[in-house]
Structure 1
Amino acid sequence: MKINWAERLRENVHGLAESLGNLLVESFHYLALFAIGGITAWAAVVAFLGMVEKGHITVDDILLLFIYLELGAMVGIYFKTNHMPVRFLIYVAITALTRLLISDVSHHHRPDLGVVYVSGAILLLALAILVVRYASSRFPSVQTDAPPRRRNPGPQVEAEEEA
């Protein structure tokens, strides 16, 4: 009889500790997401104001704004789904390498082996996106028992669903 109250107390303490731990982890999670999103927005605004102050905008500057846009989208997707889309990280890397390539060629005006290396890296990242997209469509992380839905069912499928 005396063991029952101790076991209930242990379960209550365990449940309280787990709930408190989840609260702290989720609070840190959201705080970090808001901080990253805010810093990204702040950096984009500062970069944009620098471009306006400079009086002209280059392709390099536009690609920098695209990097900020992709980082903001990545934070938004992670906030909504709690999943980090690896493809967005690869997109950011491709945009950064493209920015580096354009900047290098426009400032040095001479192609060298570095251009080939950066172009090869962009190609490898593009292939990585292809692999990730194929793998995620072929082997989804969340398995469902329902059959896959067609995007545009024909009249025959609609008639079968109504029956």
Structure 2
Amino acid sequence: MSYEQKSEEIDNKLRRVTDPFGNLMVDLFHYIALFAIGGAIFWSAVMAFIDMASEGGASISDILLLFIYLELGAMVGIYFKTNHMPTRFLIYVGITALTRMLIGDIQAHHHDPGIELLYITGSILLLALANLAVRFGSHRYPSPPIPKLDSKGANE
């Protein structure tokens, strides 16, 4: 057996031992991070709701904030189940945040039109078009399925 063959054999044995451990560590990190992010979203939503309850009511801006928390929570849940980041949900969060900002701006300035309103509505339009492009692209050009791996890290 040549030196290269021995080296390759040792490398293969090392990979059979370390790859499952590395995969386990990556999965463990994902789960811990997802639980931490989900917990932070839940905690933030509960605190926002408590603030609304203590004020005796909720404005439309407060309700949109709860929708942002809902979308973020759904995004974490989808990522937890599928290991895919739903890009559309990030766009929805952006649209909802801009809508919340628009409503707050209108309420604060008593319907005083300004260039800021045009910027915000233009941004919402751009995000809506981006969402349309993402939806069209994922429908027209779907991602190939991810191959399942066995316990040794090989394709099944």
* Pairwise same-fold verdict (TM > 0.5): yes
Pick from 134, 137, 154 the counterpart of residue 135 of structure 1.
137
**TM-score scaled by structure 2?**
0.86
CA deviation after TM superposition for structure 1 residue 14, in Å? 1.9
Residue equivalent to 1:32 = 33
CA–CA distance in 2 between the matches of 1:139 and 1:24?
32
Distance 1:10 1:134, change over 3 A: closer
CA–CA distance in 1 between the matches of 2:97 and 2:128?
13
Distance 1:142 1:115, change over 3 A: same
CA–CA distance in 2 between the matches of 1:29 and 1:38?
14
CA–CA distance in 2 between the matches of 1:142 and 1:125?
26
Question: In the comparison of the two structures, how many residue pairs are matched?
Answer: 143
Residue equivalent to 2:108 = 107
Residue equivalent to 1:47 = 48
Distance 1:9 1:80, change over 3 A: same
* Relative contact order, higher structure (CA 8 A, sep 6+): 2
Flag as ranges the 4+ runs of structure 1 deviating above 3 A.
Answer: 1-10
Gaps of 5+ in 2: 146-156
Q: Percent identity?
A: 57
CA–CA distance in 1 between the matches of 2:86 and 2:30?
16
* C-alpha RMSD of the superposition: 1.7
Residue equivalent to 2:64 = 63
Q: Could you list the per-position Cα deviations for residues 79-136 of structure 1 after superposition, in whole angstroms to 9, with x for gaps in the alignment?
A: 0011011100000000000000000110111121100100000001001111111111
- Report the residue type matching 2:45 in the other structure: A
Between structure 1 and structure 2, the one with the greater Rg is 1
Residue equivalent to 1:118 = 120
Distance 1:135 1:10, change over 3 A: closer
- Report the residue type matching 1:37 in the other structure: G
**TM-score scaled by structure 1?**
0.82
